[in-house]
Structure 1
Amino acid sequence: MTTSRARRIDPFASWSRMMAASFQLAQTGVRMVETLSASADVIASRGATIGAAMRSPRDADHAELGRMIPEKLEAFSRSGSAIADAWWAMGSAWMDEAQNLTSLSMRGRVPTIGELAALSDRAAAWSLGTVEAGALLGYDAVAPIHRKATANARRLKRLPAKR
């Protein structure tokens, strides 16, 4: 009978992967700041567009007004999909580990040293993968909102003000 054994974790590779995850978190923070800054510009511009439309509905920028809701729906839908995909993958990984632990505990005997070592290796790999997945989750969730907000800010700066 052969048993599958988890690959041993290299401490240097683990450290490198943890550092990459921390850089991913930092990039997410930068994207968040850029998104917030762009959103402030977009809100200011669109607030003026809405104000102008309320003063003179016939002369309103209906194209711009018509973009506001659909683009938010698209960006937030893509963000929600990224979150759901990541949660599904992380939940599946957790269930795999739970099944492995249950299998090990239901054998009716004390685990061998080899089985405990394999359990330790799997737990370390799973933990590291969870940190990486969590860092990527934030980055992927912010990406569609960041993309739309920064694109709108650039586009609206080029348009003449209709106030």
Structure 2
Amino acid sequence: MAYRLGKMAHAMAHPHDADAVELNQMIVEKQVAFWQAWTAMGLHGMSAAQNFSQQWLRWSCMPWTSPAALTPLALTGQLQASLLEMATKGLAPVRRKAVANSRRLARRR
């Protein structure tokens, strides 16, 4: 990040075509990573909500059919784990891009 910020500051003072390409690429890749993260989180959220709702309805409306381990506390734990997994899935595209950029820029120095 420090390398790219320094490069941006230098590019603003002494513009070159290569710098403009790099700055444009930075903007586009952030947008792509954002939408990939948003999509991954949305898909996981919909799936988790459906699963949680199904289990909660099963526990609250037909308790005789639900397993003994399925309690409100267990459902809360599943919800928390699902939210953590959603955040992880959302950060994965951003991390993947940051690592790829770091490797690419390390080769260019």
* Normalised TM-score (structure 2): 0.75
Return the match for 1:120 from 43, 68, 71: 68
| 1:25-53 Cα shifts (integer Å, max 9, x gaps) | xxxxxxxxxxxxxxxxxx21222222222
**How far apart, in 2, do the equivalents of 1:64 and 1:57 lie?**
11
How many residues in Structure 1 have an aligned counterpart in Structure 2? 108
Gaps of at least 5 residues in structure 1 are: 1-42, 105-110
Match in the other structure for 2:53: 95
Gaps of at least 5 residues in structure 2 are: none
Match in the other structure for 2:12: 54
Q: Give the secondary-structure state (helix, strand or coil) at the position aligned to 2:54.
A: helix
| 1:108-161 Cα shifts (integer Å, max 9, x gaps) | xxx7xxx17x3534448756654553443233222111110011111112213x
**How far apart, in 2, do the equivalents of 1:73 and 1:143 lie?**
14
Residue 91 to residue 60, structure 1, CA distance change in 2 (3 Å): same
Q: Give the secondary-structure state (helix, strand or coil) at the position aligned to 2:68.
A: helix
* Structure with higher helix content: 2
Residue 131 to residue 54, structure 1, CA distance change in 2 (3 Å): closer
- Larger deviation, residues 55-64 vs 68-77: 55-64
Q: Does 1:147 align with 2:96?
A: yes
**How far apart, in 2, do the equivalents of 1:142 and 1:44 lie?**
20
In the TM superposition, what is the alpha-carbon distance from 1:69 to its structure 2 partner? Answer: 0.9
Match in the other structure for 2:28: 70
Higher radius of gyration, 1 or 2: 1
Residue 52 to residue 59, structure 1, CA distance change in 2 (3 Å): farther
**How far apart, in 2, do the equivalents of 1:101 and 1:59 lie?**
62
Percentage identity across paired residues of the two chains = 28
